[in-house]
Amino acid sequence: MTWTGLFPHTQAMSDEDLLRRWQAGDRAAGQAFFQALYPVVVRFLRNKVADDVRDDLVQQTFMAAAQADFGGRSSVRTWLLGIAWRHLASHFRSAGRLQAREVELGTLSVAELGRGPESQAAWRQEERLLLEGLRSIPVHAQVALELHYWEGMTAAEIAAVTDTPVGTIKTRLRDGRLALERALSRLAASPDALQSTLDDLQGWARRVREAWATPG
Protein backbone atom coordinates (compact mmCIF):
# COMPACT_ATOMS: atom_id res chain seq x y z
CA MET A 1 0.00 0.00 0.00
CA THR A 2 1.19 3.52 -0.78
CA TRP A 3 -0.10 6.77 0.68
CA THR A 4 -0.87 9.92 -1.30
CA GLY A 5 -2.37 12.04 1.47
CA LEU A 6 -2.10 15.62 2.64
CA PHE A 7 1.64 15.75 3.34
CA PRO A 8 3.72 16.43 0.19
CA HIS A 9 6.85 14.63 1.31
CA THR A 10 4.87 11.48 2.22
CA GLN A 11 3.08 11.15 -1.11
CA ALA A 12 3.43 7.75 -2.80
CA MET A 13 5.45 6.40 0.13
CA SER A 14 4.92 2.76 1.06
CA ASP A 15 3.60 1.73 4.46
CA GLU A 16 7.09 0.54 5.37
CA ASP A 17 8.66 3.86 4.39
CA LEU A 18 6.06 5.76 6.39
CA LEU A 19 6.63 3.55 9.41
CA ARG A 20 10.41 3.96 9.33
CA ARG A 21 10.14 7.73 8.86
CA TRP A 22 7.63 7.93 11.72
CA GLN A 23 9.84 5.88 14.03
CA ALA A 24 12.72 8.21 13.15
CA GLY A 25 10.69 11.19 14.35
CA ASP A 26 8.79 12.37 11.25
CA ARG A 27 5.38 13.33 12.65
CA ALA A 28 3.83 13.92 9.23
CA ALA A 29 4.81 10.41 8.18
CA GLY A 30 3.23 9.13 11.39
CA GLN A 31 0.00 10.93 10.61
CA ALA A 32 0.00 9.54 7.09
CA PHE A 33 0.74 6.04 8.41
CA PHE A 34 -2.16 6.31 10.87
CA GLN A 35 -4.59 7.55 8.23
CA ALA A 36 -3.59 4.78 5.83
CA LEU A 37 -3.90 1.89 8.30
CA TYR A 38 -6.43 3.11 10.84
CA PRO A 39 -9.37 1.61 8.87
CA VAL A 40 -7.66 -1.80 8.79
CA VAL A 41 -7.14 -1.89 12.57
CA VAL A 42 -10.64 -0.61 13.33
CA ARG A 43 -12.20 -3.17 10.98
CA PHE A 44 -10.27 -5.92 12.75
CA LEU A 45 -11.48 -4.87 16.21
CA ARG A 46 -14.96 -3.63 15.41
CA ASN A 47 -16.94 -6.87 15.63
CA LYS A 48 -15.12 -8.06 18.75
CA VAL A 49 -15.27 -5.32 21.39
CA ALA A 50 -17.49 -2.39 22.32
CA ASP A 51 -16.71 0.97 20.73
CA ASP A 52 -14.99 2.52 23.76
CA VAL A 53 -12.74 -0.52 24.21
CA ARG A 54 -12.04 -0.56 20.48
CA ASP A 55 -10.84 3.03 20.55
CA ASP A 56 -8.48 2.26 23.44
CA LEU A 57 -7.10 -0.78 21.62
CA VAL A 58 -6.55 1.21 18.42
CA GLN A 59 -4.54 3.76 20.39
CA GLN A 60 -2.53 1.03 22.13
CA THR A 61 -1.81 -0.64 18.80
CA PHE A 62 -0.40 2.47 17.14
CA MET A 63 1.52 3.51 20.25
CA ALA A 64 3.15 0.07 20.30
CA ALA A 65 3.87 0.27 16.56
CA ALA A 66 5.75 3.52 17.07
CA GLN A 67 8.29 1.67 19.23
CA ALA A 68 8.21 -1.90 17.90
CA ASP A 69 10.76 -3.43 15.57
CA PHE A 70 9.46 -4.17 12.09
CA GLY A 71 11.60 -7.04 10.94
CA GLY A 72 10.30 -7.10 7.38
CA ARG A 73 9.24 -10.75 7.56
CA SER A 74 5.68 -9.82 6.54
CA SER A 75 3.81 -6.83 5.18
CA VAL A 76 3.38 -3.83 7.48
CA ARG A 77 -0.38 -4.48 7.49
CA THR A 78 0.15 -8.05 8.72
CA TRP A 79 2.68 -6.89 11.31
CA LEU A 80 0.35 -4.15 12.59
CA LEU A 81 -2.61 -6.52 12.82
CA GLY A 82 -0.38 -8.85 14.81
CA ILE A 83 0.13 -6.05 17.34
CA ALA A 84 -3.63 -5.39 17.40
CA TRP A 85 -4.31 -9.10 17.95
CA ARG A 86 -1.93 -9.29 20.91
CA HIS A 87 -3.57 -6.28 22.55
CA LEU A 88 -7.04 -7.72 21.91
CA ALA A 89 -6.11 -11.10 23.38
CA SER A 90 -4.56 -9.37 26.40
CA HIS A 91 -7.76 -7.36 26.87
CA PHE A 92 -9.91 -10.50 26.85
CA ARG A 93 -7.65 -12.26 29.32
CA SER A 94 -7.50 -9.24 31.63
CA ALA A 95 -11.29 -8.94 31.55
CA GLY A 96 -11.52 -12.63 32.41
CA ARG A 97 -9.21 -12.22 35.39
CA LEU A 98 -11.38 -9.38 36.69
CA GLN A 99 -14.31 -11.81 36.56
CA ALA A 100 -12.21 -14.56 38.21
CA ARG A 101 -12.49 -16.75 35.13
CA GLU A 102 -10.06 -18.33 32.73
CA VAL A 103 -10.37 -17.15 29.14
CA GLU A 104 -9.77 -19.73 26.45
CA LEU A 105 -9.99 -18.00 23.07
CA GLY A 106 -10.19 -21.31 21.25
CA THR A 107 -13.53 -22.16 22.86
CA LEU A 108 -15.14 -18.93 24.08
CA SER A 109 -16.88 -16.47 21.76
CA VAL A 110 -16.97 -12.69 22.12
CA ALA A 111 -20.67 -13.03 22.93
CA GLU A 112 -19.73 -15.17 25.93
CA LEU A 113 -17.01 -12.70 26.89
CA GLY A 114 -19.60 -9.97 27.27
CA ARG A 115 -18.87 -7.86 24.20
CA GLY A 116 -21.51 -5.16 23.60
CA PRO A 117 -23.27 -5.42 20.23
CA GLU A 118 -22.30 -3.19 17.33
CA SER A 119 -25.01 -0.75 16.33
CA GLN A 120 -26.73 -2.56 13.47
CA ALA A 121 -29.82 -0.50 12.75
CA ALA A 122 -28.72 0.26 9.20
CA TRP A 123 -27.59 -3.27 8.31
CA ARG A 124 -29.59 -5.55 6.07
CA GLN A 125 -30.94 -8.69 7.70
CA GLU A 126 -28.27 -10.94 6.21
CA GLU A 127 -25.47 -8.62 7.32
CA ARG A 128 -26.78 -8.45 10.89
CA LEU A 129 -27.08 -12.22 10.89
CA LEU A 130 -23.51 -12.65 9.67
CA LEU A 131 -22.06 -10.28 12.31
CA GLU A 132 -24.00 -11.94 15.11
CA GLY A 133 -23.01 -15.38 13.85
CA LEU A 134 -19.33 -14.46 13.80
CA ARG A 135 -19.55 -13.17 17.38
CA SER A 136 -21.07 -16.45 18.53
CA ILE A 137 -18.21 -18.74 17.42
CA PRO A 138 -14.85 -19.13 19.24
CA VAL A 139 -12.67 -16.03 19.06
CA HIS A 140 -9.81 -17.82 17.28
CA ALA A 141 -12.19 -18.95 14.53
CA GLN A 142 -13.81 -15.51 14.28
CA VAL A 143 -10.43 -13.83 13.88
CA ALA A 144 -9.36 -16.27 11.16
CA LEU A 145 -12.61 -15.94 9.20
CA GLU A 146 -12.77 -12.15 9.43
CA LEU A 147 -9.16 -11.75 8.32
CA HIS A 148 -9.88 -14.11 5.44
CA TYR A 149 -13.16 -12.51 4.33
CA TRP A 150 -12.51 -8.84 5.13
CA GLU A 151 -8.78 -8.49 4.52
CA GLY A 152 -8.40 -11.21 1.87
CA MET A 153 -5.59 -12.81 3.85
CA THR A 154 -4.15 -16.21 3.10
CA ALA A 155 -3.71 -18.88 5.76
CA ALA A 156 0.00 -18.00 5.90
CA GLU A 157 -0.74 -14.30 6.49
CA ILE A 158 -3.32 -15.10 9.19
CA ALA A 159 -0.75 -17.39 10.79
CA ALA A 160 1.69 -14.47 10.90
CA VAL A 161 -0.89 -12.18 12.50
CA THR A 162 -1.76 -14.67 15.24
CA ASP A 163 1.67 -16.33 15.58
CA THR A 164 0.09 -19.70 14.88
CA PRO A 165 1.18 -22.61 12.61
CA VAL A 166 -0.31 -22.45 9.12
CA GLY A 167 -1.84 -25.91 9.52
CA THR A 168 -3.70 -24.73 12.61
CA ILE A 169 -5.06 -21.73 10.73
CA LYS A 170 -6.30 -23.94 7.90
CA THR A 171 -8.13 -26.05 10.48
CA ARG A 172 -9.61 -22.93 12.10
CA LEU A 173 -10.85 -21.68 8.74
CA ARG A 174 -12.45 -25.02 7.92
CA ASP A 175 -13.95 -25.65 11.36
CA GLY A 176 -14.85 -21.99 11.79
CA ARG A 177 -16.86 -21.99 8.58
CA LEU A 178 -18.80 -25.04 9.80
CA ALA A 179 -19.33 -23.43 13.23
CA LEU A 180 -20.51 -20.23 11.55
CA GLU A 181 -23.02 -22.12 9.43
CA ARG A 182 -24.37 -23.85 12.55
CA ALA A 183 -24.59 -20.52 14.34
CA LEU A 184 -26.42 -18.92 11.43
CA SER A 185 -28.88 -21.81 11.42
CA ARG A 186 -29.66 -21.13 15.09
CA LEU A 187 -29.87 -17.36 14.72
CA ALA A 188 -31.75 -16.97 11.44
CA ALA A 189 -35.25 -15.53 11.82
CA SER A 190 -36.40 -17.28 8.68
CA PRO A 191 -35.24 -20.03 6.32
CA ASP A 192 -35.00 -17.46 3.52
CA ALA A 193 -32.59 -15.24 5.47
CA LEU A 194 -30.47 -18.24 6.36
CA GLN A 195 -30.29 -19.51 2.80
CA SER A 196 -29.53 -16.07 1.40
CA THR A 197 -26.63 -15.65 3.81
CA LEU A 198 -25.23 -19.14 3.27
CA ASP A 199 -25.54 -18.90 -0.52
CA ASP A 200 -23.44 -15.72 -0.67
CA LEU A 201 -21.40 -15.69 2.53
CA GLN A 202 -18.41 -14.11 0.82
CA GLY A 203 -20.63 -11.49 -0.80
CA TRP A 204 -22.23 -10.47 2.48
CA ALA A 205 -18.82 -10.34 4.11
CA ARG A 206 -17.57 -8.10 1.30
CA ARG A 207 -20.51 -5.73 1.72
CA VAL A 208 -19.86 -5.46 5.46
CA ARG A 209 -16.21 -4.70 4.70
CA GLU A 210 -17.18 -1.98 2.22
CA ALA A 211 -19.52 -0.42 4.78
CA TRP A 212 -16.58 -0.33 7.22
CA ALA A 213 -14.06 0.94 4.66
CA THR A 214 -13.79 4.38 6.29
CA PRO A 215 -15.07 3.89 9.84
CA GLY A 216 -15.73 6.88 12.04
Note the pLDDT tens digit of each residue in 115-168.
Answer: 555 555 546 777 888 888 999 999 999 999 999 998 999 999 999 999 999 999
Can you give the residue range of the structural domain that contains 160? Answer: 120-216
Identify whether residues 214 and 127 lie together within a single domain.
yes
Identify whether residues 215 and 141 lie together within a single domain.
yes
Identify whether residues 190 and 134 lie together within a single domain.
yes
pLDDT at 98: 46
Let me know if residue 43 belongs to a domain: yes
Identify whether residues 25 and 92 lie together within a single domain.
yes
Overall domain count for the chain: 2
Identify whether residues 67 and 158 lie together within a single domain.
no
Average pLDDT, the chain: 85
User: How many CB atoms lie under 10 A from the CB of residue 158?
Assistant: 26
- Residues of the chain with pLDDT > 70, as a percent, come to 84
Select the more confidently predicted residue: 117 or 211: 211
pLDDT at 196: 78
- Domain stops at, among 44, 71, 103: 103
Identify whether residues 47 and 130 lie together within a single domain.
no
CATH code where residue 154 lies = 1.10.10.10
Region 88-93 average pLDDT = 91
**What are 178-199's pLDDT values in tens digits?**
999 999 888 887 787 778 777 7
**What are 95-126's pLDDT values in tens digits?**
765 454 566 788 888 888 765 555 555 467 77
Tell whether the model's pLDDT for residue 93 goes beyond 80.
yes
Identify whether residues 69 and 124 lie together within a single domain.
no
Identify whether residues 88 and 126 lie together within a single domain.
no
**What are 55-86's pLDDT values in tens digits?**
999 999 999 999 999 988 899 999 999 999 99
Let me know if residue 8 belongs to a domain: no
User: How many CB atoms lie under 10 A from the CB of residue 82?
Assistant: 17
CATH code where residue 44 lies = 1.10.1740.10
